[in-house]
Amino acid sequence: MKHVIPIYVLFLFLVLSCAQSKESNHEIEQEAVEDDVNALLLRDFKPTSLYANNHTEIKKAKYPVIDLHSHAYAQTPEQLDEWVNTMDKVGIDKTVVMTYETGAKFDSLVQAYSKYGDRFILFCGFDYTGYEQPDFGPAAVRELERCFAAGAKGVGELGDKGKGLFYSRPTKAYGMHINDPRMKPLIEKCGELNIPISIHVAEPIWMYHPMDATNDGLMNAFKWRLDNQEGIVDHNGMIRILEEAVSLNPGTVFIACHYANSSYDLRILGDLFDKYPNLYADNSARYAETATIPRTVNRFYQKYADRLVYGTDMGRNEEMYKTTFRILETEDEHFYDRNISSYHWAMHGYGLPDEVLEKVYRTNAMKLLKLPD
């Protein structure tokens, strides 16, 4: 005889099953939420400041600005027009375009940017072709003289992160540093031509430290890490290389890009300033590193106001410019800007006084570039 299950029993069974299933799904969803938080990746951590502090919008720089560290970001005539419009809007009077280039490529950039010849100042590179050969030097000097005649107002950005000079084109000079005797004729020629050399040495200190939980700059450092590269000159070594080149060539002006990558201890740069009157520094692309220590930076700028120049090195975006002005001019606290920083930490304004701002924005650059008042 077959057993017949009453319909109401089946119905009750289905109701209980649905309830248990919903409860189970809810528990799974709760676990998933918890797992998502626990599994949050450092690169996805993008906090928003909850402090109800001042937010000062600086639409235009307090003084007409000379940006002493930019690159050939405009690739078309239309982009060049857009760039000039942005410069007009935010108060950038002139922009130094560090081309890295020599030869025909430098000439082509001179031609492209000549449309706004009063707004852009071009730097050339060094031609390191044949730097391994014993007869290296005279040809590179001749090319420097030719670029100068074509319109170069400086040299840069030279770059050495510890393996040698590699920014200039077409040849990279790995194994040769700025203090190498082979560089002496080129450096001296810059002094004779009365043009500065902008040089990037090393990287911020976070790039040299282990990429672990103790590295407070890890979020940005990991992208540019140097801790895992063999045969590289360390940070202290690169500062010594820069110092030797500056000290051996007192007739040539050097501009150390990015505070000589010594944001973590500005006393390093200050000591160099104290010893070498032919050394300057730009603040480009190190706003995030220094906006964490605004009081220290304020004191540093006031002490060395005659030796620091404004730079960006972060494209040609309007909001980027305005953020740099906000950092320099205001005392705003605890804010983030993902356009110029991938660190986890907040930034704070330096609150620089007007007399310092004018020198950093304009006066010092005019002196370095021999521009008329």
Residue 117 lies in a domain: yes
- Its pTM stands at 0.89
For the chain, give the secondary structure using H, E and C: CCCCCCHHHHHHHHHHHHHHHHHHHHHHHHHHHHHHHHCCCHHHCCCCCCCCCCCCCCCCCCCCEEEEEECCCCCCHHHHHHHHHHHHHHCEEEEEEECCCCHHHHHHHHHHHHHHCCCEEEEECCCCCCCCCCCCCHHHHHHHHHHHHHCCCCEEEEEECCCEECCCCCCCEECCCCCCHHHHHHHHHHHHHCCCEEEEECCCHHHCCCCCCCCCCHHHHHHHCCCCCCCCCCHHHHHHHHHHHHHHCCCCCEEEHHHHHCHHHCHHHHHHHHHCCCEEEECCCCHHHHCCCHHHHHHHHHHCCCCEECCCCCCCCHHHHHHHHHHHHCCCCCECCCCCCCCCCCECCCCCCHHHHHHHHHHHHHHHCCCCC
Residue 50 lies in a domain: no
Residue 20 lies in a domain: no
Please count the structural domains in the chain. 1
Residue 9 lies in a domain: no
Residue 134 lies in a domain: yes
Residue 21 lies in a domain: no
Residue 32 lies in a domain: no
**Structural domain boundaries enclosing 333:** 65-368
Give the CATH number for residue 291.
3.20.20.140
Mind listing the pLDDT tens digit of every residue in the chain (373 residues)? 445 555 544 444 444 455 455 455 544 444 444 457 788 887 788 888 988 877 999 999 999 999 999 999 999 999 999 999 999 999 999 999 999 999 999 999 999 999 999 999 999 999 999 999 999 999 999 999 999 999 999 999 999 999 999 999 899 999 999 999 999 999 999 999 999 999 999 999 999 999 999 999 988 899 999 999 988 999 999 999 999 999 999 999 999 999 999 999 999 999 999 999 999 999 999 999 999 999 999 999 999 999 999 999 999 999 999 999 999 999 999 999 988 998 889 999 999 999 999 999 999 999 999 998 8
Residue 153 lies in a domain: yes
